[in-house]
Amino acid sequence: MSSSSASTSDGADRPIDGPIDAPIDAAVGGATHGATDGTPAGARSGGGRLVLVGTPIGNLGDLTPRSVDALAAADLVCCEDTRRTGRLLQHAGIRARELRVVNDHTEDRAVDDVLARLGRGETVAVVSDAGMPGISDPGESLVAAAAGAGFTIEVVPGPSAAITALVASGLPAGRFAFEGFLPRKGSGRTERLAAVAVERRTVVLYEAPHRVARTLDDLLRACGPDRRVVLARELTKLHEEHWRGTLASAVARVSDIEPRGEYVLVLDGAPAPAEVTDDHIVAAIDRARAAGASTRDAVAEAAAELGVPKRRAYALATR
Ligand code: SAM
């Protein structure tokens, strides 16, 4: 263990000043990540650090000691809402040196100022209202700009509703697709729903309570009634609930009970397409021919319809 350690009441040695597996020169202050061109972390930047700090998604007990330390040590804390983050800091018994509002509307405008402060060697922390910054929350632009300018990026991980819901869903979690919030309307929504419908991996979606019913309805239309879904509600809070069923039963449920609280929808992946046999291909070619297509066109149509190579369809059409 590279960092100092202390014996705790359970007799175990715990690191007190750095990450467990940190190399010796990175033991204090957490792991460091330099620019991708090999410039040592902070070397170009005069030591400025951007620190992404995870915060609870509903249960203050999930605020980690490391998050508290990072917020207390920052020269500036960027947050979505100063009152909300102020309450969190108060709960932790710390006073931030300076809070600045950085939300979806102001993040891009904040970038130059944050880069200037990192350039002066300051430490800038980023939190969102809940969970991990950058996950359907501000943070991404600041990280991209700071990393691009060669500053050190650090993460103090905390809970995220997506991962919390996924691991409790019982659906395959080895590979999954995070979709965040679907576009609210228009072709963007239609296209995303079509992509979700054929996605083979488990899909994790965020949704506001007053839109859960409509989104489940749209998912039902896109994916069919039998697709399994888990509605993860009020995670880590008093009324935490994991409801499991099919899309058809989920739609029926939310029409009975008006959704309240925060929701993550975890959707089972699309089933593997059924194997296309020679008989399927011959039947598709025969249908196209019967409708008046030439052999060449019938082969092309059948191949496109069933997603098989034209060569295979042609061989069957001419055997
Ligand atoms: N950055 C956050 C994270 O890491 O999870 C997500 C922020 S996003 C603006 C808010 C959405 O996350 C909510 O609409 C809901 O879908 C989901 N969410 C957040 N907290 C939740 C909770 N305690 N239970 C269920 N869903 C939650």
The full set of domains in the chain, from first to last, is 32-159 (3.40.1010.10), 180-267 (3.30.950.10), 278-317 (no CATH)
DSSP letters along 70-100, please?
HHHH-SEEEES-HHHHHHHHHHHT---S-EE
Which mutation among 263, 265, 266, 267 tests ligand 1's pocket best, with the greatest number of atoms within 8 A of CB? 263
- Give distance in angstroms: CA of 190 to centre of ligand 1: 23
- Give distance in angstroms: CA of 131 to centre of ligand 1: 7
Q: What sign does the dihedral 144-148-151-156 (CA atoms) show?
A: positive
The whole-angstrom separation of Cα 233 and Cα 163 is 13
- Give distance in angstroms: CA of 231 to centre of ligand 1: 13
The whole-angstrom separation of Cα 78 and Cα 108 is 13
H-helix segments, the chain: 65-73, 82-92, 107-119, 140-148, 161-169, 186-198, 212-223, 247-256, 278-290, 295-306, 310-317
Which mutation among 140, 182, 262 tests ligand 1's pocket best, with the greatest number of atoms within 8 A of CB? 262
- Give distance in angstroms: CA of 159 to centre of ligand 1: 10
- Give distance in angstroms: CA of 127 to centre of ligand 1: 14
pLDDT tens digits, the chain, 319 residues: what are they? 233 333 333 333 333 333 444 443 333 344 444 444 444 444 444 689 999 999 999 999 999 999 999 999 999 999 999 999 999 999 999 999 999 999 999 999 999 999 999 999 999 999 999 999 999 999 999 999 999 999 999 999 999 999 999 999 999 999 999 999 999 999 999 999 999 999 999 999 999 999 999 999 999 999 999 999 999 999 999 999 999 999 999 999 999 888 899 999 999 999 987 888 999 999 999 999 999 999 999 999 999 888 889 999 999 999 8
- Determine the 3-state secondary structure of 50 from DSSP: strand
Closest ligand 1 atom to the C-alpha of 128?
1
- Give distance in angstroms: CA of 83 to centre of ligand 1: 19
Closest ligand 1 atom to the C-alpha of 134?
1
Residue with CA nearest ligand 1 atom 20 = 57
* Lookup: tokens for 306: 């069933």
- Give distance in angstroms: CA of 235 to centre of ligand 1: 9
- Give distance in angstroms: CA of 3 to centre of ligand 1: 34
Which residues make Cβ contacts (< 8 Å) with residue 21, sequence separation at least 6?
2
- Determine the 3-state secondary structure of 155 from DSSP: strand
Which mutation among 57, 210, 239 tests ligand 1's pocket best, with the greatest number of atoms within 8 A of CB? 57
The whole-angstrom separation of Cα 157 and Cα 62 is 11
For ligand 1, residues with CB inside 6 Å are: 57-58, 128, 130-132, 135-137, 160-162, 206-208, 232-237, 262-264
Beta-sheet pairing, 49-53 with 152-156: parallel
Which mutation among 105, 167, 206 tests ligand 1's pocket best, with the greatest number of atoms within 8 A of CB? 206
Find where tokens 């029409």 sit.
255
- Give distance in angstroms: CA of 124 to centre of ligand 1: 24
- Determine the 3-state secondary structure of 55 from DSSP: strand
Tell me 131's DSSP state: B
Asked if 26 and 94 touch (Cβ cutoff 8 Å), the reply is no
The whole-angstrom separation of Cα 190 and Cα 182 is 9
DSSP letters along 203-245, please?
EEEEE-GGGHHHHHHHHHHHH-TT-EEEEEESTTSTT-EEEEE
Whole-angstrom CA distances from 306 to 195, 284, 288, 318 are 18, 8, 13, 18
Starting at the earlier edge strand, list the strands of the sheet with 176-181: 176-181, 202-207, 263-267, 228-233, 241-246
